[in-house]
Amino acid sequence: MIDREPEEHVTSGNLMDSRTSHLDDELSERLEEAFHKTTFNIHLHDVAEIASEYNPIDLAYAAPRLPPEARFVLFENLPDVKAKVSFLINTDGPSRSAVFRSQTDEEIREVIDKMPSDDAIWVLDDLSDRRCRRVLDLIESKKAMQIRELQKHSRNSAGGLMTNEFFAFPMETTVAEAASFIRDNPGIDMTRRFFVLDHKGELQGYVPARNLIVNPAHLPLKQVMRQIDHFVYADTSREEVVDLVERYKIPALPVLSEENYLVGVITYEDVVEVIEDIADETIARMAGTAEDVSEYDHVFKRFFARAPWLLVTLFAGLVSASIMSYFQGIEAELLGLIVFFVPLINGMSGNVGIQCSTVLVRSMAIGVLSSGKKGEAMIKELSIGTMTGVIFGCLCGIIVYLLSGYEIGEFHGNPVQLGVTVAAGVFGASLTATTLGVSSPFFFARMGVDPALASGPIVTAFNDIMSMIMFFVISGVLNTVFFL
């Protein structure tokens, strides 16, 4: 299998112009040409050639661009079972489903048998419950039991992320005996550390894999093991797992049962995949869509994934129109002028609120904002929001005053009244948006909901409504009290 060198025009600063993106485009183009061949034999020959030439991981990423029936043909032409296993692990759910629809239970069992248990549960999720049970009945009993144990845990917990295939030895085991056992079990992935248990089976420490090489063969593991500083339980959330592994750079995080027995291990590679999943979900929530950006779905399906969130914006617009009609009591000439500034108020307050909530959500996500510093963070953001409202409110008021004073465009009437009204409106809207942007992430976090929703359409729409109410209230008060 080839690993192509990047072309000269490929730049590293643009994700759409990266080496892998060019490889994906090239591979997709070749596959599309192969599947458009009119002669069946030539068609299969070209597909087989591509399948043997490229890395199965690259083929797995290219497969979703093909029609469902073509994905199975590509899978069938992979050179061996190892390549098929790699393909199924790395491709998407619809591609796995397309492959499984054309395979017998025995053929599925053959590839599942070669997979690590933690990868197998993700692959089996794309089978129906009935067929999954049939396949598990065909698998060797020990491995089937391991898979069933992992399936009991939530996908968003440490139990759902861990593998229950790992190396653990009694304390009296020598370095030579441990090395020999690892050598005799190539089917278990070797992590950068293995674990040491006491006579009860409770976790006592770990040994870096390097110690198998640098220490004398006769030494017992208890003399070379190190203390376990960090571990999690099976029901620990994936966010806490990510925080521990990222902060302490743990290559293999032990997972314990309630009785403190070692039941699994979470590797650094597993955590990287979780980080990608969390990032995808966070971006989707902030954008206000349930759409899976990695899918190649029909446009109608993608539309309906976005539509519910857009309805929120639609209703918010109707509410805004109702609010504007409610404040018709403001002096007619002033009302006719300040209406022009509604888009400015909405845009300014929206950006202020999103900046504030996004900064707080990011701080929560990367673990730099603790509950003890919540008050300090809120005060800082409110201070920035107040400063923003004062500076930009004054700047906007001065500009509007000059436009009205020199009768530039359609701005006429009392320059002072209009300038002060707009300046106060911008300040009030910015302060309202900042307050909402500060409080909403903590509110969602307290409710057990992803704080990323604080930057989504629901809060944004609510922010627009509240900011507009504040603008019109300020305009009405100033008009009544000072400029009557």
What's the CA gap between 208 and 194, in Å, rounded?
Answer: 7
pLDDT digits (tens, 9 = 90+) for 393-417: 999 999 988 888 777 766 666 788 8
Percent of the chain, pLDDT > 90? Answer: 32
Closest CA to 346 of 320, 327, 318: 320
Indicate whether 294 pLDDT > 70: no
**Matching residue, tokens 């209009």:** 418
From 184-188, 209-213, 240-244, the region with the lowest mean pLDDT: 184-188
Domain 15-155: homologous superfamily in CATH: MgtE N-terminal domain-like (1.25.60.10)
> Once rounded to an integer, what is the mean pLDDT over residues 3-15?
47
pLDDT digits (tens, 9 = 90+) for 236-284: 999 899 989 988 999 999 999 988 899 999 988 889 888 888 777 776 6
pLDDT at 16: 56
pLDDT at 359: 85
Ordered strands of the 193-197 beta sheet: 168-170, 193-197, 203-208
DSSP single-letter state for residue 110: H
Closest CA to 282 of 366, 349, 369, 371: 366
Average pLDDT, the chain: 82
What's the CA gap between 438 and 288, in Å, rounded?
Answer: 19
From 20-34, 164-178, 211-225, the region with the lowest mean pLDDT: 20-34
Burial 229-253 (b: 16+ CB within 10 A, else e): eebbebebebeebbebbeeeebbbb
* Residue 213's pLDDT band (cuts 50, 70, 90): confident
* Residue 7's pLDDT band (cuts 50, 70, 90): very low
pLDDT digits (tens, 9 = 90+) for 113-132: 989 888 898 899 989 889 99
The fold of the 168-268 domain, in CATH, is CBS-domain (3.10.580)
Torsion of CA 475, 476, 482, 484, to 10 degrees: 130
**Residue 205, SS3 per DSSP:** strand
Tokens standing for 61? 């990423």
What CATH number labels 299-481?
Answer: 1.10.357.20
pLDDT digits (tens, 9 = 90+) for 62-105: 888 888 888 898 999 999 999 999 999 999 888 999 999 999 99
Query: Is 24 exposed, middle or buried (CB count within 10 Å of its CB: 0-12, 13-18, 19+)?
Result: middle
The residue extents of the domains of the chain are 15-155, 168-268, 299-481
Contacts of 198 (CB under 8 A, 6+ apart): 170, 171, 204
pLDDT digits (tens, 9 = 90+) for 314-340: 777 777 777 766 666 555 555 556 777
pTM over 0.95: no
